[in-house]
């Protein structure tokens, strides 16, 4: 059922209606088959670009749509409710553009942002390494300056869009003490994606290692100056966590809608199972979890839009929304019973997809650590 939303402008309402139509007609019908076949829907990102949905939170002067984060995240939620691979991909692409938007020079933005925000190119965010996941400061990939370019060596891992991305926002050491950000072209000689990981969910989205073997990157692709990479990465992750929270709410909403629809139609002992208190209470708890998670990410988004600090709230929303998605999708399988354990219904896929949301963009254990440390400062 359509989510009732309170939107600030007519433009936002029209945008959400457009997104809902695209999600229903262009995304949802193809999701199950594509996930089963592990087929990456690159054409859907081109479609989103043509509709202006890849540029929503960024200024018009850079080719963006100048929409508040509150609106962008609700668009992301609608897309994720139809197809998580596309929703997560949109979130990752938006985060991959963030460093160039916020820290790039006017010349860099003019050169690359138009294609990035218009759907002509697709991005990936290359931060994690085999020994540096939650501990981002432990990364070992190294970029050595060689004249007017950098020679980059190292291995990145868990790269969403690995092997299909046109550009990688890459965090690398430029000295023993400094981490910097490079915008790396996907066709750079010496850059190679590994085989896609075999995953329990989001199988339509390729996740790979990224190996850099003396990859040459022009100094013009350095974003934000040497030594600012960790600050750029953490700023991008704050916004990225809001994106994952919105994706999680979209997935949970889809699972809730499926469970309600099934419980209304399924009869036992001459009654719809939704009329039995055990099921009724379970569905009520699912609804409460979805609404609470949505309110949490919207609160953080409004703080961001107002120019206020939102890092702690981003961690709270990521934690609350992804834990809710795991619980709601698991309960949806339970409501459907044996049918929920089969691939005839998407409940089991929703449950598999929910698990990774508790892991990437900082595990939920890391979110608790961030929240606790922020509270200790106050």
**For residues 121 and 164, what is the distance between their CA atoms, to the nearest angstrom?**
10
- Strands 207-218 vs 179-185: parallel, antiparallel or unpaired: unpaired
| Beta bridge partners of residue 160, listed in sequence order | 207
**For residues 347 and 360, what is the distance between their CA atoms, to the nearest angstrom?**
21
SS3 for 73-87 is: HHHHHHHHHHCHHHH
Q: Which two tokens stand for residue 249?
A: 């709410």
Active site residue 361: yes
SS3 for 275-312 is: HCHHHHHHHHHHHHHHHHHHHHHHHHHHHHHCCCCCHH
Which residues are CB-neighbours of 95 under 8 A, at least 6 positions away? 125, 169, 236, 237, 239, 240, 243
Using only C-alpha atoms, the chain has a radius of gyration, in whole angstroms, of: 21
- Of 185, 310, 290, 302, which Cα lies nearest the Cα of 239? 310
Residue 145: other Cβ atoms inside 10 A: 13
List the catalytic residue out of 26, 77, 353, 361.
Answer: 361
Residues classed as catalytic: 361
């Amino acid at each position: 059922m359509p989510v009732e939303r309170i939107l600030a402008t007519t433009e936002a309402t029209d945008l959400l209606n457009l997104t809902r139509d695209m999600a229903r007609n262009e995304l949802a019908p193809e999701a199950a088959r594509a996930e089963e076949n592990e087929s990456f829907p690159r054409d859907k990102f081109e479609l989103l670009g043509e509709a202006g949905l890849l540029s929503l939170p960024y200024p018009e002067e850079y080719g963006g749509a100048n929409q508040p984060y509150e609106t962008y995240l609700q668009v992301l939620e609608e897309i994720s409710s139809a197809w998580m691979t596309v929703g997560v991909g949109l979130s990752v692409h938006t985060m991959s553009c963030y460093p160039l938007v916020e820290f790039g020079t006017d010349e860099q933005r003019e050169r690359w942002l138009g294609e990035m925000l218009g759907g002509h190119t697709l991005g990936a965010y290359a931060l994690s390494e085999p020994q540096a996941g939650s501990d981002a400061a432990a990364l070992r990939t190294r970029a050595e300056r060689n004249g007017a370019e950098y020679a980059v060596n190292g291995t990145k891992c868990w790269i969403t869009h690995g092997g299909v991305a046109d550009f990688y926002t890459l965090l690398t050491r430029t000295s023993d003490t400094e981490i910097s950000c490079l915008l790396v072209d996907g066709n750079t000689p010496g850059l190679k994606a590994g085989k896609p990981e075999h995953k329990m969910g989001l199988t339509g989205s390729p996740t790979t290692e990224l190996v850099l073997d003396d990859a040459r990157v022009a100094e013009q692709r350095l974003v934000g100056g040497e030594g600012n990479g960790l600050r750029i990465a953490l700023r991008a992750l704050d916004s990225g966590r809001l994106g994952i929270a919105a994706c999680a709410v979209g997935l949970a909403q889809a699972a809730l809608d499926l469970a309600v629809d099934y419980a209304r139609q399924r009869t036992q002992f001459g009654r719809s199972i939704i009329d039995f208190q055990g099921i009724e209470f379970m569905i009520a708890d699912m609804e409460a979890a979805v609404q609470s998670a949505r309110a949490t990410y919207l609160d953080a988004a409004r703080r961001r839009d107002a120019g206020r600090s939102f890092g702690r709230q981003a961690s709270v929303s990521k934690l609350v929304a992804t834990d809710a998605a795991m619980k709601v999708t698991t309960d949806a399988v339970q409501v459907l019973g044996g049918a929920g354990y089969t691939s005839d219904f998407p409940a089991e896929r929703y449950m598999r997809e929910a698990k990774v949301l508790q892991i990437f963009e900082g595990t939920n254990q890391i979110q608790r650590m961030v929240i606790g440390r922020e509270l200790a400062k106050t």
